[in-house]
């Protein structure tokens, strides 16, 4: 059975690209969220195997969303999607419970490696 993924990013562009990378690798994208609030809500509904989480989003950023999701499910597997120059935020996200991170610009191989680590 393929792993289910929830993709959280406020940019359709990023959601599409991450979604394409993951679905081409055999993952099943079960949901997308544009805001942190949506991310938490969709996590609750969908209970995905993996969450990709943008850091900067309106209505609750990615880090707070990680915190909330980990409260719901301490075993949640969350991969942070970050831009260059956000080290402090990524560290915060990991302290909040995220398992790994990838840095934009995304290379499919890197995204998939990180996903393997998170799921492994």
Partner 1 sequence: MDASQYADLFLTESREHVSAMNQWLLQLERDGAAGSAEPISAIFRAVHTVKGMSATMGYVVVAELSHELETLLDRVRRGELPVNGELMDLLFRSADVLESAIEGAVAGRDVSTTEVLRRLRAFAEPGVNVASDRSTGSDDASPNEWTAPAPVGSGTLVRIRLAPETPLKGVRAFLIVQALRRVGDVVIVVPPVASLQAEQFGHDFALRIVTTSSEAEIERGTRGAGDVASVRVGEDDAQKMGQAPSVAEARRAPSPAPATLPSDDASAPAAPIGDLRDEIMTSRMVPVWQVFDRFPRLVRDASRSLGKRIEFTIEGKDIELDRSMLDEIGDPIVHLLRNAIDHGIEAPEERTAAGKAPAGRLKLSAARDRSAVVIRVSDDGRGIDRDRVLARAKVSGLVDSTKAALNDEELLRLIARPGFSTAERITDLSGRGVGIDAVYTRVRALGGAVDIRSQPGQGTTATLRLPLTLAIVRALLARAANEVYAIPLTHVSETVELQAAALRTLQGSEVIVLRADVLPVLRLRDLVGLERRDCAAGARSDRRSRPASTDRARCPSPRW
Give whichever of 45 and 116 is closer to partner 1, judged by the CB atom: 116
Q: Which is nearer to partner 1, 20 or 72 (CB)?
A: 20
Closer residue to partner 1 (CB): 30 or 94: 94
Nearest to 49 by CA among 99, 87, 2: 2
Please state the closest distance from residue 45 (CB atom) to partner 1, in A. 25
In order, the DSSP letters of 3-71 are PEEEEE-S-HHHHHHHHHHHHHTT-EEEEEESSHHHHHHHHHHH--SEEEEESS-SSS-HHHHHHHHHH
Residues in contact with partner 1 by the rule CB under 8 A? 10-14, 16-17, 20-21, 24-26, 56-58, 82-88, 90-91, 94, 100-110, 112-114, 116-117, 120
């Amino acid at each position: 059975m393929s792993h289910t993924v929830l993709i959280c990013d406020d940019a359709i562009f990023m959601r599409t690209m991450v979604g394409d990378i993951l679905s081409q690798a055999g993952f099943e994208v079960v949901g997308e969220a544009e805001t942190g609030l949506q991310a938490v809500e969709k996590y609750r509904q969908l209970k995905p195997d993996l969450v990709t989480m943008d850091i900067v989003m309106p209505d609750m950023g990615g880090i707070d969303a990680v915190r909330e999701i980990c409260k719901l499910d301490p075993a949640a597997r969350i991969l942070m999607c970050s831009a260059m120059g956000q080290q402090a935020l990524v560290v915060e996200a990991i302290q909040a419970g995220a398992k790994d991170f990838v840095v934009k610009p995304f290379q499919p191989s890197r995204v998939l490696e990180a996903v393997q680590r998170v799921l492994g």
